A and B are shown apart, each in its own frame.
Chain A
């Protein structure tokens, strides 16, 4: 027994124990212990158990993600400072400052390395157990908790005539057509689910700042390379292993879909979409109370009214914007006088403080301007509207 086997032994034991529990459970319920389907269900059960174990970590990460809202303004300043500096060393300098910022506010949205690395021996343990079934059956041995009799059943189990441990390259003595059909379907399912779950994260749940980093570009490339590697090595995977992978990828997809919809990364496209959905329901953006949000809008309006320079807009766009706003304007027509008074008052106080220089009073952090241009221009539209009202 070499060093790696020694490390893997407890994981293999746990994997075989979970398989044993599920198989006994399904047999007790009345399923045929020798049927391939019972064993497939046991594999699915094993996958679900393993993924369920990681849920607390996942939830912890989401909770710490919320803490990020607090430091958003400072993060925005940091991102502005490093805007356009795309070389690796500058990116690292930014990462370093970011880490100091997290530490200072005692928030850290990152997951940590240990659990991710710990998943590797678990997977290798599973792989060794499943891959060892064929040989153990030949030698009439058991695998840890699984008895020789169970190993024989496991090895002889079939799905539509395809043995559970046949591979595309080595279809065994079962129904070859069934093996090839099932294996091809599973390899495709495994590859596609993996690609979707990676792509989904990278496309939507990444902040604009991260998208600038060289690391992100590398990651984009890997997203395409890995499914190819999977598809190629898949021809050597037994059907049982393919089932594990596919179920596990499906789980990740669902988990990520939930995370992206409900708890997106601050500054990402997914967050903007969530805020748009919330706005449609009349809710304030994530992480802000209704009062805070209203106060912010009010402040932005006051600043715009105080003569802050507007972002230049082409005539064409102005017209389009005016058309878009017309519907709202007629609705808001009644509120006009009150708003005007408010604006005038605000301007008065601003004048006392002395005019702020251009650009400094920008209510939005500068780095977000590129990313949230749509939203920004909408806001701009509403503020130019209010200044237009004043001119009247």
Chain B
């Protein structure tokens, strides 16, 4: 399917091809165990990941676009369980759901840094690619894993979102 799309839009250029290929070749969210003990230890996390993936595939589309945030609650849940494990991930997800009520302003609300480390863009599971869709987002994400990263600085980089410059005064005039 991806190839068909590719041929449909030859003008779209290399960027589309690369993000599509990146996504197609990305590893899954599941955590691989190296021993029998680990299989048991990681079972809750992997079960939650599986459940969230099923929810996202079957139930989410029924409601359409609902969430007031980016990433959506289910994407946030899947990322937080993938990165932070069953207990912390679940806690983060529940807190996020409580934030996603009709009177909330919404907006960009990312999973906090920390947890599982990923070395390169190619190592990022699919949900991380989806939740960090631009090259700048991915660079910021990877730099947060670097051992030298100071937690505060990473957070500041996050605040100063790469999207800001696009909302130039010219655009507000048009509104």
**Count of chain A residues near B, Cβ 8 A:** 49
| Complex contact A87–B163 (CB within 8 A) | no
Beta-carbon contact of B16 and A87 below 8 Å: yes
B147 close to chain A: CB less than 8 A: no
A117 interface contact, C-beta 8 A: yes
> C-beta contact mask, A64-81 vs B, less than 8 Å → 1, else 0?
000000110110010000
- A100 engages B97 (CB within 8 Å): no
List of B residues within 8 angstroms of A355 by Cβ: none
Write the residues of chain A forming the contact surface with B, with a CB cutoff of 8 angstroms. Answer: 57, 60-61, 70-71, 73-74, 77, 84-90, 92-93, 95-106, 108, 110-117, 198, 201-202, 206, 210, 215, 218-219, 221-222, 226
Contact across chains for B106 and A110 when beta carbons are under 8 A apart: yes
Is the Cβ of B20 less than 8 Å from the Cβ of A89? yes
25 A-B pairs within 8 Å (CB atoms) are namely A70-B175, A77-B171, A84-B9, A84-B12, A86-B8, A87-B2, A87-B20, A89-B22, A89-B133, A90-B15, A96-B108, A96-B137, A99-B70, A102-B106, A108-B106, A110-B65, A110-B66, A110-B68, A111-B102, A112-B66, A112-B68, A114-B102, A215-B61, A218-B57, A222-B62
Binding site for A on B (CB under 8 A): 2, 5, 8-9, 11-12, 15-16, 19-20, 22-23, 57-58, 61-74, 97-98, 100-102, 104-108, 129-131, 133-134, 137, 161, 163, 166-167, 171, 174-175
Q: Is the CB of B130 within 8 A of A113?
A: no
A86 in complex: contacting residue of B9, B102, B130, CB < 8 Å: B9
Q: Contacts A96-B134, A219-B62 known; A103 to B108 CB distance under 8 Å? A: yes
List, in ascending order, chain A residues with CB within 8 A of B66's CB.
110-113, 116
With a cutoff of 8 Å between Cβ atoms, the chain A residues found around residue B74 in the complex are 113
A218 to chain B: closest residue by CB: B61
Q: Known contacts A105-B175, A111-B102, A112-B102; is A99 also within 8 Å of B12 by CB?
A: no
- Cross-chain contact of B16 among A90, A104, A114, A215 (Cβ < 8 A): A90
Contacts of B166 in A (CB 8 A): 97
Question: Which of A84, A87, A99 is close to B23, meaning CB atoms less than 8 Å apart?
Answer: A87
CB contacts (< 8 Å) of B133 on chain A: these are: 89-90, 92-93, 95-96
Instruction: Tell me whether A104 and B69 are in contact (CB under 8 A).
Output: no
CB pair B107 A100 closer than 8 Å: yes
Provided the pairs A60-B102, A112-B68 are in contact, do residues A100 and B108 lie with their beta carbons within 8 angstroms? yes
Question: Which of B9, B12, B66, B102 counts the most A-chain CB atoms under 10 A from its CB?
Answer: B102
How far in angstroms is the closest Cβ of chain B from A272? 20
When distances are taken between beta carbons in the complex, the residues of chain B under 8 Å from A105 are 175
- Given the contacts A60-B102, A84-B11, A89-B129, A110 and B67 also touching, CB distance less than 8 Å: yes
The 8 Å CB contact of A222, one of B61, B71, B167, is B61
Shortest Cβ distance from B125 into chain A, in angstroms? 13
Per the bound structure, the CA–CA distance linking A95 and B102 in Å amounts to: 19
Alpha-carbon distance between A307 and B9 when the two chains are bound, in angstroms: 31
Complex formed: what's the CA distance from A210 to B65 in Å? 9
What is the CA–CA distance of A222 and B60 in the complex, to the nearest angstrom?
10
Give complex CA distance A108, B107 in Å: 8
- Using known A-B contacts A96-B163, A226-B62, determine if residue A108 contacts B70 with beta carbons closer than 8 Å: no
| Set of chain A residues within 8 Å of B98, measured between Cβ atoms | 114
Shortest CB–CB separation between residue B56 and chain A, in angstroms? 10
In the bound complex, what is the Cα–Cα distance between A96 and B133 (angstroms)? 8
- Within the assembled complex, what's the spacing in Å between the Cα atoms of A219 and B60? 9
How far in angstroms is the closest Cβ of chain B from A339? Answer: 28
Contact in complex: A57, B102 (CB < 8 Å) = yes
